[in-house]
């Protein structure tokens, strides 16, 4: 039986590991009773805009910083809650 190289083993094992990670386990999602996807995207865009600020750095140029706590609080204030839901 020929020896299998590390590369060959990784090419065999990696897809199996990736499939094992792709489960239907509950994932976090923003939820609001009787709300549409369009309403969520509008709220998300508005909250994201409120939670972001631009900063300039001499070595990196302009960078957008997002305050995720502010973003979450903004969505919560509009009736959205982050919950674990099953995905197909």
What tens digit of pLDDT does each residue of 15-28 get? 766 666 656 678 89
Instruction: Indicate the pTM of the whole model.
Output: 0.65
User: 45 or 60: whose pLDDT is higher?
Assistant: 45
**Would you say residue 18 lies in a domain?**
no
How many helices (DSSP H) and strands (DSSP E) are in the chain? Answer: 3, 4
Full domain range(s) for residue 63: 24-85
Asked if 42 and 74 touch (Cβ cutoff 8 Å), the reply is no
Within-domain flag for 64: yes
The total of structural domains in the chain comes to 1
Give a yes or no: residue 43 inside a domain: yes
Q: Which two tokens stand for residue 36?
A: 């549409």
4 found inside a domain: no
CATH number for the domain spanning 38: value is 3.30.70
């Amino acid at each position: 039986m020929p020896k299998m190289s590390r590369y060959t083993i990784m090419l065999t094992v990696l897809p199996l590991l990736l499939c094992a990670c792709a489960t239907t386990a509950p994932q976090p999602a923003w939820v609001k009773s009787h709300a549409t996807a369009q309403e969520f995207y509008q709220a998300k865009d508005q909250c994201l805009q409120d939670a972001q600020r631009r900063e300039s750095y001499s070595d990196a140029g302009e960078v957008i910083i997002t305050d995720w706590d502010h973003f979450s609080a903004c969505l919560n204030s509009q009736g959205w809650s982050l919950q674990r839901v099953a995905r197909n």
